């Protein structure tokens, strides 16, 4: 008894794949090359976009630093002018109170304006802020500025003048 059974669908598919394996491999290779090329193109676009964003970020940071530096230069220039009006050898409580009144907002705005400056200038900004705070506390508490009758400038005032000058010298180089 001979049984001529028809081959199953699975067998037909396997036979077809075996007969056409070269063509299937060629088509698969072409598809993989196309997908790889697409990924390479996408990666190049992503890298280009990231580079553009980095450049834009650098430009924006530079512009912000220049803007803050210009504002800082103006503020410290006014402070330096006020400090220049105070005699180098003696200072009256009234002169100091006027200086602090004219520049009362500095201790709040200076740290923000000094962001992005090099460490040395950042320390000078801290010195300016600390000196203004010390002078304000000294005048608010009614303490004498110096033990002698000449009212020599307190150390905080000298530190304020020196630090202001150093920061302005740095800003002039920008």
pLDDT in tens, 11-60: 999 999 999 999 999 999 999 999 999 999 999 999 999 999 999 999 99
Contact 139, 133 (CB under 8 A): no
Say which CATH architecture domain 10-172 belongs to. Answer: Up-down Bundle (1.20)
User: pTM score, two decimals?
Assistant: 0.61
- pLDDT tens string 73-98: 998 998 888 888 877 667 777 777 78
Rounded-to-integer distance, Cα 128 and Cα 126, Å:
5
The most confident of the ranges 21-35, 86-100, 133-147, 160-174 is 21-35
Q: What is the mean pLDDT of the chain?
A: 84
> In the chain, at which residue ranges do the beta strands (DSSP E only) sit?
none
Could you tell me the two tokens for 68? 């803050």
Asked whether the predicted pLDDT for residue 147 surpasses 50, the reply is: no
142 torsion bin: left (phi>0), alpha (psi -120 to 50), beta (else): left
Rounded-to-integer distance, Cα 78 and Cα 71, Å:
11
């Amino acid at each position: 008894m001979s049984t001529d059974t028809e081959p199953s669908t699975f067998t037909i598919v396997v036979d077809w794949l075996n007969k056409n394996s070269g063509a299937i491999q060629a088509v698969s290779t072409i598809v993989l090359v196309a997908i790889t090329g697409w990924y390479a193109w996408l990666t190049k676009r992503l890298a280009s976009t990231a580079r553009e964003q980095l450049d834009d970020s650098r430009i924006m940071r530079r512009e912000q630093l220049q803007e803050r530096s210009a504002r800082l230069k103006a503020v410290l220039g006014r402070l330096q002018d006020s400090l220049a009006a105070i005699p180098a050898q003696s200072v009256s409580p009234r002169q100091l109170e006027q200086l602090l009144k004219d520049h009362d907002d500095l201790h709040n705005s200076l740290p923000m304006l000094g962001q992005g400056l090099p460490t040395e200038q950042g320390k000078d900004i801290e010195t300016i802020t600390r000196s203004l705070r010390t002078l304000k506390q000294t005048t608010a508490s009614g303490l004498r500025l110096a033990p002698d009758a000449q009212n020599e400038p307190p150390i905080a005032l000298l530190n304020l003048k020196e630090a202001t000058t150093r920061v302005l010298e740095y800003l002039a180089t920008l």
